[in-house]
Structure 1
């Protein structure tokens, strides 16, 4: 099962029954469901050498998160459903901002959880989807990703065990 870095699902994706969270502890599930939003926030944040981001960057990131609904991965679709359920009246969560060091550590922790608990195809799809959120945000600037954006994406890909 392969997905593009842009996060586009395959054209003929199947829609299986949603994955239950029974495979994951509450802390693990929270990590997996919080990570895409944290990636979006860091990718959209101004940082040294990176261009300032506008509303369009945030919208591109939200679109990339939503694109997960069409992935051919039970895990990705379940995470997206949990994200939407949370924001459609679910309990308020700690929506703290994060810095790059914290984000990369969270990515590495998520990879460890996925290697222990997830089907390899679901693990790969989830990691690629999370990376696609950042890639879409970074592509919103004039002229595409800056050199600093490319370094950020490389570090993120490394932390997600995609490099």
Structure 2
């Protein structure tokens, strides 16, 4: 969440200055802006023992991504804006490997970046939003134990679970 220079929340009805990508290196920003799409693809993709998802699951995931536009977090809103601003097609929005096994290292890398550079409230909002994308996709079908396992691993990698 953005705060004024004095450390106080912005006054009601006004937002602090918009988040700039200058806070992050190009590599860090790429990681933060591609991770949500990678999570969506991994959650929607069948894997060993995981159910096959239909188009509706992908649409639910896209809706979960778009829900970040209404976030109180400047970081989440900036990431969503960057995702939607891409002109080079869906593969750029996803970026990199997207299998469930590839996500934990990417999530842990994102958490390290957020610890170094983001306001703690923005970090928490980003990590919870990314997890919410996977949760919404996984809930589109019948409850499945492999989805629970996937979501638990994702939550652990995002630093949302106690160890």
Q: Give the alignment's TM-score, normalised by structure 1.
A: 0.84
Change in 2 beyond 3 A, CA 1:74/1:13: farther
1:46 is the counterpart of 2:40? no
Q: Partners of 1:64 and 1:107 in 2: how far apart? A: 18
Could you list the structure 1 runs, at least 4 aligned residues long, displaced by more than 4 angstroms after superposition: 12-17
Gapped regions of structure 2 (runs ≥ 5): 2-11
Q: Could you list the per-position Cα deviations for residues 13-45 of structure 1 after superposition, in whole angstroms to 9, with x for gaps in the alignment?
A: 975543100110000000000000000000000
Moved more, 99-108 or 66-75: 99-108
RMSD: 2.1
Q: Partners of 2:148 and 2:106 in 1: how far apart? A: 20
Equivalent residue number for residue 136 of structure 1: 136
Q: Could you list the per-position Cα deviations for residues 106-135 of structure 1 after superposition, in whole angstroms to 9, with x for gaps in the alignment?
A: 000000000000000000000000000000
Equivalent residue number for residue 162 of structure 1: 160
Gapped regions of structure 1 (runs ≥ 5): 2-11
Bigger Rg, which one: 2
Q: Partners of 1:13 and 1:39 in 2: how far apart? A: 33
- TM-superposed CA distance for 1:49, in Å, is 2.0
Q: Give the alignment's TM-score, normalised by structure 2.
A: 0.84
Equivalent residue number for residue 7 of structure 2: none
Change in 2 beyond 3 A, CA 1:124/1:14: farther
Higher relative contact order (CA 8 A, sep 6+): 1
Task: Output aligned runs, 1:12-161, within 5 Å.
Answer: 16-86=16-86, 89=87, 93=92, 95-142=95-142, 145-161=143-159
Change in 2 beyond 3 A, CA 1:41/1:83: same
Instruction: Give the number of equivalent residue pairs.
Output: 149
Q: Partners of 1:13 and 1:66 in 2: how far apart? A: 22
Change in 2 beyond 3 A, CA 1:109/1:96: closer
